[in-house]
Chain A
Amino acid sequence: MQQVAEVKPSRGGAIGEQTFADLLQPLIEPGFRLALAMLHDPQAAEDAVQEASFTAWRKVARMQDQRRLRPWFLGVVANKCRNARRKKWVAGVSLGLPEHLSVVSAEEPTLRGTDLRRAVSRLRHEDRLVVVLYFYLDMPLEDVAAVAGSSVGATRARLYRSIKRLRPDLSIQEALR
């Protein structure tokens, strides 16, 4: 039942508003892109990032190593997305998405985009997170593992399995290009 890592910060004092803004602002856009790809809903994505930012305000000052802020913040965003999707799960199942989707059959680019988004949305949260971080946020596997709270080997295995589900006809090497 391993889930997204939310590294517990150490005890410490508060930080100023300007410092907080300087630390957080560069993380909002990647956080939003992550949430958008996890939730497929811009408004819900902004809500998830906003909630994650409130969490960051409460906890960022207590973080011992602020170089870990980016993976930690993205992990918080991912957790907010998981909760948001749980809340709208009933709505999700009513979409009637087929169990197996081909993402390579459509010629038209928009249709292909729709198919790929649907295929990604069918992945489990943990698999979807790894795919989005690696392919959409272009993060190296080590950073993806840090956000996912898992080892690099386990993250690689999860990514390969997800690729096989998304593009069963592609070899792993082709897909990783």
Chain B
Amino acid sequence: MSLRRDTHSAFDEIAPSMAGLSERVVQTVLTENSSRHRRKRLMFRVRGPLSLVAVFALIAIVAAGLIGGRVIHDWNLFHNSVPAGDSYQSQVAQLEAVPLRIPTVQSFLDCQSGPYNSVGSYGSGPVYGDGGTASSNDWGLYFHLDAYAETKVAGPILVRALDLYTRQPVIFIGQYAAGPAAVSDTFDGHTYDQHPELLLNTSTSDKRFTSHEFVWPFVDGVPKSWSGSTGWQIDGIGFSEVFLVC
């Protein structure tokens, strides 16, 4: 038997009848949508009083944030736990001087993804990479990814990546992008400079969307001519890790 026929029979064995499935799924979406509309109408009736409460709550939050931020700022100044600017920049320069150890892959059959951690994220730690969604434009593909750490990492963290075959650098856009900007591109309605590095720090973590201790959502990009396989190197003070995505 061929692999195709084997695959069909292997999965058809466990497939239940799909009669009525399409109608059931679509109907559930439409029904749920209607109930959401009803909830929206109910919300509209209470929206006036709620918005007043929301305004007061917002004022309270802003005031608390300002006071709290000031206290934290003073505390940090007092304890001086964040490295001084010059020292931090010299650490970044030190990481940028670390040679890239991303291997050259001769054949796609030689390329093995990983290493992975115990939950399937890329990397050997302390910083890991997780996948996300992709968007394309005329230049190439942009991927919305996450880097994360579960323990505090002292100092800057530098991320660099290469196409494993063409050796072209993977580019980064957005708030964590760093290094000299070569070109700019318009993506998702905004014009961004493309940078060759990603510079992270546990104090710039953005925890809005995941439960990891420190998270940096970022966007990387590859041109249309990319090979489909990339190598990543993450350097920090006292560690350096490399992983492949084939």
Contact = CB atoms under 8 A, between A and B. Distances in A.
Interface of A: 1-8, 17, 20-21, 24-26, 28-29, 32-33, 36-37, 40, 42, 46, 49-50, 53-54, 56-57, 79, 82, 86, 89, 103, 109-110, 112-114, 116-117, 120, 124-126, 131-132, 135-136, 138, 149-151, 153-155, 157-158, 160-161, 163-164, 166-167, 170, 174-177
Q: Which of B26, B141, B145 is the most central at the interface, judged by chain A CB atoms within 10 Å of its CB? A: B26
A40 B131 CA distance: 22
Interface of B: 2-4, 6-11, 13-16, 18, 21-23, 25-26, 28-30, 32-33, 108-109, 111, 113, 119-120, 122, 129-136, 141, 143, 145, 188, 220, 222, 224, 226-230, 232, 245-246
Tell me if A's interface is mostly helix, strand, loop or mixed.
Answer: helix
26 contacts: A1-B131, A1-B132, A1-B232, A3-B132, A24-B25, A24-B29, A28-B21, A42-B16, A53-B25, A53-B26, A103-B6, A109-B9, A112-B10, A116-B6, A116-B10, A126-B113, A136-B7, A136-B11, A151-B224, A151-B228, A153-B227, A153-B228, A157-B228, A170-B3, A175-B3, A177-B3
A36 B134 contact: no
B143 A2 contact: yes
A82 to B, nearest CB: 8
A5 B136 contact: yes
Nearest to A161: B109
A3 B133 contact: yes
Given A3-B132, A86-B120, 12 more contacts: A1-B122, A1-B245, A2-B134, A5-B135, A20-B26, A37-B11, A49-B25, A120-B7, A151-B226, A154-B227, A167-B3, A175-B3
